[in-house]
Each structure stands twice: as C-alpha cells, then as structure tokens.
Amino acid sequence: MRNFSRRGVIGLGAGAAAALGLAGCGTLTSSDGSDQAEGSSGGTGNQPGAQTHRTRPIGDGSTSYTGKQPNQPGKPEPLEPGQEPPQFVVFSWDGAGEVGNGLFPRFLELAKEHEAHMTFFLSGLYLLPESKKRLYEPPNNPRGASDIGYLTDEHIKATLKNVRQAWLDGHEIGTHFNGHFCAGNGTVGNWTPQQWRSEIDQAKAFVKEWRTNSGWTDLPSLPFDYDKELVGGRTPCLLGQDNLLPTARELGWRYDASSPGGRQVWPQKKQGLWDLPLQQIPFPGRSFEVLSMDYNMLANQSINSTKAPSHNYPGWRQQSAQAYIQGFKRAYETNRAPFFVGNHFEQWNGGIYMDAVEEALKHIAREKEKGADIRLVSFRQFVDWMDVQKPDILDKLRTLEVGQQPVGGWKTFLQGSQGGQGGQSASAGTQNAA
C-alpha cells in the first residue's frame, strides 16, 4: 500500500499546507446481526412506540430500506432574536475503513458513551475486493489504479459491519470517493465536472453492489438507501472542489467539506451547497495555525511518520489534543462558529492522533455535561439546523470574525436583524495567527 507523500510540508503553517493540498491523504495500514432495523417515527431514535420496518432490499440486496434513521436529534428549530446559538462540533473521518486495528469500533463506542454523532466519509474502494479492481475506471488513471490500497476480504467485511452499525447509531455515511489521486496528471485537482460524476457514480455503485462484487451472501445488507443517504463528501487532499460542486449540486447534495484553509467563522453556501471547510486552529507552541485534521498535525510535527523518534510522542500527542481543545474553546467562548475536525483511522506516530482526538472529544463532552448547549453532530445534522435558520440571523452571525465576541452579549447582538454589526475582539491569544 502506497503512502501519501509529504515532501516539503514540515514546518508549514495552515495556509501553506492547505495550498499544497495536505489535508489528510493517509493510507490505511494495517458480523453481522439481524437483517431488520428500527426506524424512528420521531426525531429521537429508538423511543418507545417507534415503528419497526421490515427490510426492503434495494438492487442486489447490498443496501436496503429500513425506515427512518434511528437515533437522530430532535427537529431543528430556528433561533429566536436574542437567543444564544448552540456550539456545534463535527468530528468526521476520511476513508472510514476498518483494517483490524479496532479504531472504527473504538470511536463508535466513544460516540455512544457521549451521545455524539459523526460523519464517516466512506471510500467506495473499501467495499470492492481487490480481485475485482478492474471494475474501477478512475478518470485520467489506468483501470484499477488507486493511490490507496484495496482492503483484504476480511477487512471489507469488518468495514461493512462498522458502517452498518454507524448508521444504526445515528451517524452519517458520506463519501471520500475512490482512488485518492493527489498528484501527477491523474490528480483529482484536474478532474472535470463530468469526471467527478463518473467517480461519484462508481463510488456509489461499489457501496450498492458489494454483494454482487464479492459474492458474499451470508452478510446482512447495509440498512440505508445510499442514493438518499449520500448528501456530501470530502475530496482527497482537499483538491478539486470547484469542478466537483456543479456535479454535487446536480445530484442534490447539500454540503461539501473539501475547502482547504477555512477559518472559524459561520459558513455560507458556495455554488448552492453549504461550504464546510477544515479550519485553521491554534497550534500550541508554534507561531502559525494548523488545519483541524490529524494528518496536518502529523505533517507539521514529523518528517517520517513511521520512523519518528518515539520519545517525541507524548509531547506531540499533547500538542495535538490542545490544538483541538483550543480551537473548540476559541469558538465556544466567542463567535460560536461551528467547529469541524477531520481524522483518519490510522496509527501514525504510535497512534497519538487517535488519542488526541479522543481526549478532545471527552473534553468537549464534559463541557456539554455541565449544561452548555453543545451539540456533537454530523455534517448532515448541522446543515439540517442551518437550513431552518432565518437568513438575517445567519447574516448577523457571519459578521463575527475569528475570536470575536458579540457586542453586548448574544441577547443584544441577535435582538432583531438590524444594527449591532460590530463584534468585540477576544484577547490577543485567540486571534487568528495565520
């Protein structure tokens, strides 16, 4: 399996790293249950009296209709004038394959413990057996080529099991597309809207036809209709968004999480879709900020993730955890911009980035348990909330810069749609350093 090149990235701040597309392009390195699922009749999941729908297979039975997704938050409500906005936090995972290291089930369990929802950007190739790799026709690349490795049959089965459980637990299944091409003539950065359509169609087909492609008949179907479930994704290396968006809009997608170098401000739409980028966040001990993704912390800490001296791991782990925590804190204590985090199920540098993400999630969950209106949601759940907000309220929220507090507090700032456009800067320690 080929590793993603990180030449020239060490010591780069968020802006420079983003410009090079260094957004987490890792390579995974290394069941079942009832064929029924509960569909929620309300917004809160498996409540007493919720309807149970018998599975209705779709196509070859790789996927199925099982009713409304269980374990969802209540119906989103618009903010009232003067109401303090919630603090949204989205943890997302690129690739979302389980290769025997236990990371996928580890974070499913962590999410369940803290009543968190996440987004899993599934790579379509992770459900395609390597023996059938010539079914994949990547744009501008040889048939069957991929810059990430195909999974073993056992790891595909484990991935299916965890993706199924993730959806039943209330998480979102998005897409990370297929072959993860980030360099050369075949890079996704050069693909046309038509080529993106081919890539998406294939990514969906590998999810919808895993049973045909594998020949496995003893595993349960995935409990969702992927044509309806798929409403957003993140491109490899954060490349190619401009040409992806027209196709995504035609397909009815609702958001895209591929923008590089975003800032901690309230988002807006781009070409009709919510633009939800990774964000520049404080990087403790450094003069620059770093993108809110494990890979970018890796790239700024070590030259070689497989040979870095292990005595550095404790300090790097703490630095990474504090980057996430400080990013959350800056938003929560000032403009309440949603906080987006991206990750991979990888053991880079001894698994310190997995530990850092877990520490950050637990820190945020403790703040939530104190009674704060903090919502650990998927991207889909976040845009559900955004879509019901009044345009003038969102416009007002967008006037707050990174680290800006609303003048006079939220009750004054959001009292009506006119006036009060300014914000009060936070302390110098929370200003954008990029």
Answer yes or no: are the C-beta atoms of 295 and 23 closer than 8 Å.
Answer: yes
Residue 52 has a pLDDT of 46
Phi, psi of 356 (to 5 degrees): -65, -45
Listed by start position, the domains of the chain span: 14-30+73-430
Pull the structure tokens for residue 386. 């955004």
Look at residue 307 in the predicted model and tell me its pLDDT: 77
> For 381, which DSSP code?
H
Write out the DSSP string of 159-222: HHHHHHHHHHTT-EEEE--SS---SSTT-GGG--HHHHHHHHHHHHHHHHTHHHHH---SSPPB
Query: In this structure, what DSSP letter does residue 15 have?
Result: H
- CA distance between the termini of the chain: 34
3-state secondary structure of 29: coil
DSSP codes of every residue in 301-363: H-S-TTTS-GGGHHHHHHHHHHHHHHHHHHHHTTT---EEEEE-S--HHHHHHHHHHHHHHHH
> How far, in Å, are 265, 281, 328, 406, 421 from residue 331 at the CA level?
8, 10, 5, 12, 18
Structure-token pair, residue 396 = 């007002």
The token duo for 373 is 């209106």
Per-residue pLDDT of the chain (434 residues; tens, 9 = 90+): 333 333 223 334 444 444 344 455 544 544 333 333 333 333 333 433 333 457 899 999 999 999 999 999 999 999 999 999 999 999 999 999 999 999 999 999 999 999 999 999 999 999 999 999 999 999 999 999 999 999 999 999 999 999 999 999 999 999 999 999 999 999 999 999 999 999 999 999 999 999 999 999 999 999 999 999 999 999 999 999 999 999 999 999 999 999 988 999 999 999 999 999 999 999 999 999 999 999 999 999 997 766 789 999 999 999 999 999 999 999 999 999 999 999 999 999 999 999 999 999 999 999 999 999 999 999 999 999 999 999 999 999 999 999 999 999 999 999 864 433 444 434 333 333 32
Residue of 253, 254, 251, 270 whose CA lies nearest to 382:
254
Beta bridge partners of 289: 282
Residue 361, token pair as written in the block: 């999630």
CATH topology of domain 14-30+73-430: TIM Barrel (3.20.20)
Q: Are 279 and 291 in contact (CB under 8 A)?
A: yes
pTM given for the model? 0.87
